[in-house]
Amino acid sequence: MCSPSNIPYPELPDAQFTSLSASLVSNLTVKIPKGGYANHGAVAAEGVSYCHVTTTYTHTGQNETITVDVYLPTDDWNGRMQGIGGGGWTAGGINAPGPSMSMLGAVVDGYSAVTTNAGHASLDPYEWVLKSPGVVDNHLLEDFGSSSLNELSIIGKAIIESHYGSPPRYSYWNGCSQGGRQGLKLASKYPTAFDGIAASAPALDSVGLGIGSLWPQAFMNTLGQYSKNCELIAITEAAFEYCDGDDGLVDNIISYPDSCNFDPYSVIGQAVSCNDTGSPEIVHISETAAKVANATWTGPRPVDDSLTWWGLKKGARLVEENVGFMIIPGLATTVCSTNGTCVGKPTGISEQWIRLLIKKDPSFEVSTVAIDDFWKLFKISMEEYGPAFKIEPDLDAFRDAGGKVISYHGLADSIVPPDSTRHYFESIAAKDKRVHDYYRVFEAPGLGHCFLDAGGYYPEGIFEELVTWVESGVAPDRITAHTSPLNGTRRSSILCPYPQKVHYNELGSSAVADDFYCED
């Protein structure tokens, strides 16, 4: 029965529950597009019903209100719990208008789903990060960074047991981007919270990401020159033309961006169509554009050339583009006036992080930051927020508890550098040669952030592979992935556990997974 009288408050140390409600949601028609339900494909179902439980609580001595939502399937519960991660500045699916798509997707699959708002009811970080002018709400930031995630697990399991009469047999975390970071934070800090964790395209180091994303803008500010977006689009297209066939297959995907030796300086002077100033014109690719492209691919390095943050891979979008129904951000985006003068346009990630957490001033003009200031901001970010957000490469306790982590990262990700995931994996592998027994990373050629970019290979069955690994002990040696281009043509390939790469056998139709194999 879906009634709050049957569900007592969970037991949670140092917390006081303030409300609990339950209501029956019946006979929904669910249609979720690809990407709406993280680590899954599109979902369509009719007659979906669930008990929607909402509870709120606060921590001793604090005045925040943390909300946890639980969706409990009324029919055919599969005995499992699925924790739903967030994205950007959201901790979970609660802040979305209407029911969370990922929560509904989990219910369609038979899971009890649970998510949290981590104590802030707004999608807008300007409304909650600063508790007063110049003062960061560090407690709410800690809720968002880690503590509410473990509490979500405790609360979800307790409510599930009260409702069904038994706890979940297995519990899983499902997230991408911020949700991927949350998953790896759970694995390292709360190793018994979940049995299996899908942590895809993880924003592993938000501390570095918030500043590192500004690098191309700071580079242009220091240079005192700004490229047009059309120039960088043309340079990216030239890189595709130069490196697309390196894997033996011409499919508008750069499968091996690390070995793509395309030189942006080689296309200086090439004529391209441009509409950046509001009217069509022909421009010629400038040396400035080549420098900006190269800096974005290389990433920021201090004077001693030690790596501080990673650049994007060749093939990732460098500037903001509207692709179908999606606006994909770009780190080197500019805005040009009718007279041809251009200025930088920082991403929202950089603006919000620097204004709210570093400068603690919502009006600070991020677009003026040059390289010298960039390094100062980077240092402050690491010192002030590393403890809350940085994830140490230590999965020993999670491994010993029998947990499994699975991740994918698009090699054309234009938001979170795929090398950040690679670096995290390699740091763990350096200490544990049996890392593949509990942690596997799959790099996805051509794929943008999480599910973005129409031409990349998206592994929509990766969550099911995680479940099989946890419950049957069968680790995935390859994962089928599909493209969904805007022209409707669909191709299949495979993703391989890093450090293996996918190879084309040059014998098949180039459209099905059996045409590919994994090899170092």
Contact 497, 442 (CB under 8 A): yes
Closest CA to 84 of 101, 60, 72: 101
Q: Please tell me whether the peptide bond between 499 and the residue prior to it is cis, using omega within 30 degrees of 0.
A: yes
DSSP codes joined into one string, 106-146: HHHTT-EEEEE-TT---S-GGGTSEEETTEE-HHHHHIIII
381 alpha carbon, distance to own chain's centre: 20
Do the strands 112-116 and 80-84 form a parallel or antiparallel pair, or are they unpaired? parallel
* Catalytic site residue from 40, 59, 409, 449: 449
* Catalytic site residue from 276, 413, 419, 453: 413
Contact 243, 254 (CB under 8 A): yes
Contact 320, 330 (CB under 8 A): yes
**Catalytic residue at 305?**
no
Q: Biggest alpha carbon distance in the chain?
A: 73
Quick one: CA dihedral 42, 176, 475, 152, positive or negative? negative
Closest CA to 126 of 362, 347, 384, 346: 362
List the Cα angle 44/47/48 in 5-degree steps. 75
Which tokens sit at 91?
Answer: 């901790």
Do the strands 492-495 and 479-482 form a parallel or antiparallel pair, or are they unpaired? antiparallel
**Catalytic residue at 409?**
no
* Catalytic site residue from 153, 171, 177, 213: 177
CA distance 156 to 103: 13
Q: H/E element holding 160?
A: helix 148-164
**Catalytic residue at 413?**
yes
The residues near 124 (Cβ < 8 Å, ≥ 6 apart) are: 89
Which tokens sit at 461?
Answer: 């069955």
Residues marked active site are found at 177, 413, 449
